[in-house]
Amino acid sequence: MGGWRVKAKEAITQVSITARFLCLLHFTNNYLFSPTLVYGPSMLPTLNLTGDIVLSEHFSHRLGRVRAGDLVLLRLPVDPAKIAVKRIVAMEGDRVTFFDSNASDLLQTLVVPKGHVWIQGDNLYASRDSRHFGPVPYGLIQGRAFLRNCSSWKMQMIQGYNRIMMYGHFPALDHWNNEHNGN
């Protein structure tokens, strides 16, 4: 008669341990860190076409600590069910000059509105980004990518602003460069 009580107590203990583990996993994945598989041509050469696993943290954007040059995970404004990885090129109040693909490749200039960021892929020729759908509300940012795999056993820190400057000049980042270089 006492055997079923012992088994019931063991089962309750296992359920309790599993529930605590799942709560910890949920908290870690949504509020601290999470791995994400990223693939496609829009972030070449920073990320691989065939896919990289990036580790992103989920607290910088909540604290207002993402900056121009950061790689972020965000919900696409044209399809909020999809998560994309893009680079922040400009923050609110920054002036952005870009070729508007919607207006026959005319050169456009705008100021990023309050509460928004301007995002672009590193591969400008294969990226759907703010040049196509405009500034992105800050609230769509889900996390900041900071680590990626470069092989099955090796991880690499994702570079920010300096990585952008290796592949091209972004006028929207001039003020950032001036602030951080003492100009």
DSSP 39-76: -SSTTTTTS-TT-EEEEEESSTTTTT---TT-EEEEEE
**Residues in CB range of 4: below 8 A, 6 or more apart:** none
Q: Are strands 116-120 and 106-111 parallel, antiparallel or unpaired?
A: unpaired
Catalytic pick from 56, 86, 127, 130? Answer: 86
Q: What is the pLDDT of residues 21-79, one digit of tens each?
A: 999 888 888 888 898 888 889 998 888 888 888 999 999 888 888 999 999 999 999 99
Is the distance from CB of 172 to CB of 92 less than 8 angstroms? Answer: no
Calculate the alpha carbon distances from 131 to 22, 61, 92, 96, 120 in Å: 40, 22, 16, 10, 7
Q: How far is CA 86 from the centre of its chain?
A: 6
What are the structural domains of the chain? 34-180 (2.10.109.10)
**Residues in CB range of 152: below 8 A, 6 or more apart:** none
Is the distance from CB of 113 to CB of 44 less than 8 angstroms? Answer: no
Please indicate, yes or no, whether the overall pTM of this predicted structure exceeds 0.85: no
Q: What is the pLDDT of residues 126-159, one digit of tens each?
A: 999 999 899 999 999 999 998 887 666 666 777 6
Catalytic pick from 7, 16, 34, 42? Answer: 42
Q: Is 42 a residue of the active site?
A: yes
Q: Is 86 a residue of the active site?
A: yes
Is the distance from CB of 69 to CB of 88 less than 8 angstroms? Answer: yes
